[in-house]
Amino acid sequence: MNIIKITNIQIKNKELFIHAFVGLLIGFFILHPISMAIYWFDTNGAEYSLRNLGKVTTDSMLHAFSFHMIGMAIAFSFLGALIGLGSGLYYKSLKRKDGLLHGKRKLLEQSIPILIKEGESDFVEFKSSLRHDYRQVKTNKNLEMVIMKSIAGFLNANGGTLLIGVNDFGEVLGLDNDYFSLKKNDKDGFQQRLITLVSNTYGKNICAFLNISFHTINKREICIVVIQPSIGPVYLNENTRTIFYLRTGNVTNPLTTSETVRYLQSRQIIKN
């Protein structure tokens, strides 16, 4: 049982051992000789040149591996191993985060059909497209502002999820028509356009409150925008007017100035 346990620990920490060992080798074979070469130049006041550098580096490497320098070699090996260990821990941290994100993506993929089936709510909204007008069967850039209103509504409320490529009845339409209208006809072009719209409309800092992903349902790709509530109020400038949008129930509504003030005051009271 103990042998199996030790083996599992070794397998689990394989990356740490590799990083530490590589760091040890770098410390012994690279850092130690280089430090000796630099020390020689500093103490002797010699001019830095390719000729001197080649000779001193060769001599330093030979001297670094001599027996009476073993203490220094061990010190640099230990330093290299520590650096390698730090690198390994950082690598494991990134790998763990990537695993968590992968798990969340898988969970989201499983929950999307359920979200669509349950329909729109305070936290879920469907939009057929970003800019393709299904009624007029053409590109209509005015629809982009409809998406911006929806995003503002969630930002000013408690956050939510916006599904683009799904109509009001929960039918998955996909994003092919939107892709066709863009210079870059794929999801990367779609995401770039969406981020540009948010940045230009509300500021680049608001993009931090959005998580954009793409998922395929019935061979049709849709965009999922998970929106976190913003720290402060978000306003949309529309026809020289500044409008505050709020998600209430399953609709996004513009608030009057007095309604906006009362809502923000009540929100501040709740925070305090």
Q: What pLDDT was estimated at residue 214? A: 93
Asked if residue 239 lies in contact with residue 227, where contact means CB atoms within 8 angstroms, the answer is: no
b/e sequence 122-133, b meaning 16+ C-beta within 10 Å = ebbbbbbbbbbe
Distances (CA, A) of 186 to 177, 178, 192: 10, 9, 10
Which of 163, 167, 175 lies closest to 224 in space, CA to CA? 163
Domains of the chain: 2-101 (no CATH), 119-271 (3.30.950.30)
pLDDT beyond 80 at 262: yes
What is the Cα gyration radius of the chain? 29
What's the pLDDT tens digit per position in 150-197? 999 999 998 999 999 999 999 999 999 999 999 999 999 999 999 999
What's the pLDDT tens digit per position in 38-85? 776 667 766 666 666 666 666 666 666 677 677 777 888 888 888 888
